[in-house]
Structure 1
Amino acid sequence: MNEIIWPKGYLPGMTDNFASNEIIVANLSAAEVWDYLNDTSKWELYYSNVDTIRFYNVTGPELSQSAHFRFNTFGFPFEAEVVEYEPPTNDKPARLAWHGWEEGLTEDDALHVHHAWLLEDLPEGRIRILTQETQNGKIAKKLAETKPNPLINGHQEWIDGLAKAAAKQKRS
């Protein structure tokens, strides 16, 4: 199986917080799921922890390499820039990652994250949906100590909803 590509300063185990969520689902492909991840106008249809999505340097709602966008999540206004963008192909998994930061904080208090996605077709008509996020900053340290971890729970809702939305579309 493939793994996330980490930029310098965001390697899991070397950051203030890390979350990893993964599911494997039958009867779905990376291409079918990609549309629901790539098109941000669909996020609110299956994920309750996101709203107020807007783009700055592209029209959206589809993501693209270097797209700069903003959204609210986990109670934070968040800025993000897409740093990895590879739609799925017959021989390669889909890869999507953004660098994000909390809007309006000083550098000393800022939360910086690398949020990455991998949609990988597996044998026998299955898909692996993996999302991982590393975080740095004071807020990340506090989140890492919170039990249950809100990042892990929130991201689980996201990947479960993503798979269910794609499956529902496929059935219709």
Structure 2
Amino acid sequence: MATPTAYAILWPTKFLPGTTDNYVSNEVIAAGLTANQVWPFLADTAHWEKYYDNIGQITPPASGSLLTPEAVGSRFRFATFGFPPLDIELAECVPPTATTPGRLAWRAWQDGDADSALEVYHAWVVENTPWSSEGKPFARILTQESQIGKPAAQLAEAQPNPMLNGHQSWLDGLVKYAKSKN
């Protein structure tokens, strides 16, 4: 039996994977959760520090901690991976439905000279899978990030890869947290 093609990230041309200084992709299939059970904890910045220890100093958008379609274009800030708080602009926010994926994406940047400037595009897809087991649903959660700048190139060379491992922690923490709340 063929399975449908999984939804993918909608990349701005500037951040196409393979054309930037660093790119990582992480994905989990969460047994026993639906996309709608995961989404509230991803789309609300007030929850992030409760399940992801590599983020802090979150300054939510002026509209509040909840990232919504109406907040697209708004700015917020947070610190991660040892960088001071990055400037962030919400680029995409589409909550999931029973049949369509949720999408969340932001552009982040750190101004500076050739050695310190950084640009990032971080995106998420949260969707229900077309299968279940023993009546339990499965949610697919995909996060990918593409980065431009010398700090990004340095992260790409580090072993073990801090971005790959950090984003896996974010996914694992999100799933564990969502399960504890549902």
TM-score under structure 2 normalisation?
Answer: 0.89
Are the equivalent residues in 2 in contact too, given 1:95–1:116 (CA < 8 A)?
Answer: yes
What residue in structure 1 maps to residue 35 of structure 2? 30
Pairing 1:136–2:140 present: no
Residue 50 of structure 1 is matched in structure 2 by 55
Contact 2:35 2:128 in 1 (8 A): yes
1:62 alignment partner in structure 2: 66
Correspondence for 1:146 among 154, 158, 177: 158
- Matched to 2:178, the amino acid is A
Is 1:120 matched up with 2:120? no
In structure 2, stretches of 5+ residues that fail to align are 1-5
1:158 maps to a residue whose letter is W
Superposed CA RMSD: 1.2
1:159 equivalent in alignment to 2:167: no
Aligned counterparts of 1:51 and 1:40: Cα–Cα separation in 2? 10
How many aligned positions are there? 168
Is the CA contact (8 Å cut-off) linking 2:114 and 2:149 kept in structure 1?
no
Which of 83, 88, 93 matches 2:96? 88
Deviation of 1:90 after TM superposition, in Å, equals 1.9
Give 1 or 2 for the bigger CA radius of gyration: 2
After superposition, the C-alpha distances for 1:81-130 in whole angstroms (9 at most, x for unaligned) are 1111100112210000000012x523663110000000010021101110
Indicate the SS of the match to 1:9. Answer: helix
Counting aligned pairs with the same residue, the percent is 49
- Residue aligning to 2:78: 71
CA shift digits 1:122-158 (9 cap, x unpaired): 0211011100000000111111110001000100000
| 1:98 corresponds to | 106
Rounded to whole Å, the distance in 2 between the matches of 1:143 and 1:108 is 13
- In 2, distance between residues paired with 1:49 and 1:55? 17
Deviation at 1:79, TM superposition (A): 1.1
